[in-house]
Amino acid sequence: MQLSRFPRIRMGHMPTPLEHMPRLSALLGGPEIWIKRDDCTGLSTGGNKTRKLEFLMAEAVAMGADIVLTQGATQSNHARQTAAAAAKLGMDCHILLEDRTGYNEPNYRMNGNVLLDVLHGATIEHRGPGLDMNAEMFAVAETFRAKGRTPYAIVGGGSNATGALGYVNCALELLGQTVEKDLVFDHMVTATGSAGTHAGLIVGLKALNAQLPLLGIGVRAPQETQEGNVFKLAQAVEEKLGLQGVVKRADVVANCDYIGKGYGIPAESTLEAIDLFARTEAILLDPVYSGKGGAGLIDLCRKGHFKKGERIVFLHTGGAIGLTGYTHVLPHA
Ligand SMILES: *Cc1c(COP(=O)(O)O)cnc(C)c1O
């Protein structure tokens, strides 16, 4: 597979750093924990959507789009990075935001990612919970087309086969770093939501026979659904790359025990993870994704699922700007 065959517009700061977390490792007393800093991709406070958008926006440019649409929850990191990418490329951006949590606090509705959406010049419209948001978005895209525009609509999270190529690329990058640094990892852990990150990574890891099991920590769907979504997308990615059957259903593993009350609502364990990472390693997790991923990592170390003598890499998918949208649940001075 040669990823360079696919159109890509470089926007991220890559390779992202791969760092040891000695204080968190010591505190948990189990495995040696490393972190892959995709929170440092550079585009408007960074995050995992940047890698996907490098491939998606190249497709948008190739088809002559003058406006990009996408959708997500109110504090969507994907919407914010899409707004930033569009600004950088001189395109308009229109976002549909779903009120998925019921939070009504001013910071939730206007600060964090929403503030940056607006700063990047995106226009926003809102939807109540429970709709098929991709269908809503495609309908709005048609209204732009009817006005003579050329819209490019990006599904939620940028998670289609094109976007997921960004995480095939991340797998290649990470494995290159393990060679440079003489590191062998026993497990990789990432938060998993709309599935593009998990699917791209597993295709890249399996295609290279990395023998590095990947665990997704779910943030929304139950385990069966999440694993099914990831597997289906992984198959679409394989097809795009001309690979076949490198990812088996059993390679796709998600643990959905750290979701708490639901998507976008931090659990106690989410808040504890945010606190621990901030105090031990000065790493900022986010309340929706990496905080839940971090909670899974911490708990699975404490339970001895990840053991002393093993080495783990945790993918930091970003999102810390969302903390300022969640002041109502975070500790205050
Ligand atoms: C979108 C997102 C994820 C989940 O990635 P998916 O590809 O949607 O599964 C994880 N962390 C952060 C911070 C995100 O914004």
SS3 87: helix
Binding site membership of 256 for ligand 1 (Cβ less than 6 Å): no
Cα distance between residue 271 and residue 3, in whole Å: 38
Binding site membership of 318 for ligand 1 (Cβ less than 6 Å): yes
DSSP structure string for 254-287: EE-TT-TTBTTB--HHHHHHHHHHHHHH-----T
In this prediction, residue 331 carries a pLDDT of 84
In this prediction, residue 333 carries a pLDDT of 63
| C-alpha torsion 211→212→218→222, nearest 10 | 20
Question: What spacing in Å lies between the alpha carbon of 295 and ligand 1's midpoint?
Answer: 15
State pLDDT tens for residues 111-139: 999 999 999 999 999 999 999 999 999 99
Binding site membership of 324 for ligand 1 (Cβ less than 6 Å): no
Question: What spacing in Å lies between the alpha carbon of 251 and ligand 1's midpoint?
Answer: 20
Buried residues in 219-250 as b, exposed as e (16+ CB within 10 A)? bbbeeeebbbbbbebbbebbebbebeebbeee
Residue among 38, 29, 33 nearest 312 (CA) = 33
State pLDDT tens for residues 51-90: 999 999 999 999 999 999 999 999 999 999 999 999 999 9
Cα distance between residue 280 and residue 28, in whole Å: 11
Query: Would you say the pTM of this structure is higher than 0.85?
Result: yes
* Average pLDDT of every residue of the chain: 97
Mean pLDDT of 294-301: 98
Question: What spacing in Å lies between the alpha carbon of 146 and ligand 1's midpoint?
Answer: 32
Binding site membership of 47 for ligand 1 (Cβ less than 6 Å): yes
State pLDDT tens for residues 168-186: 999 999 999 999 999 999 9
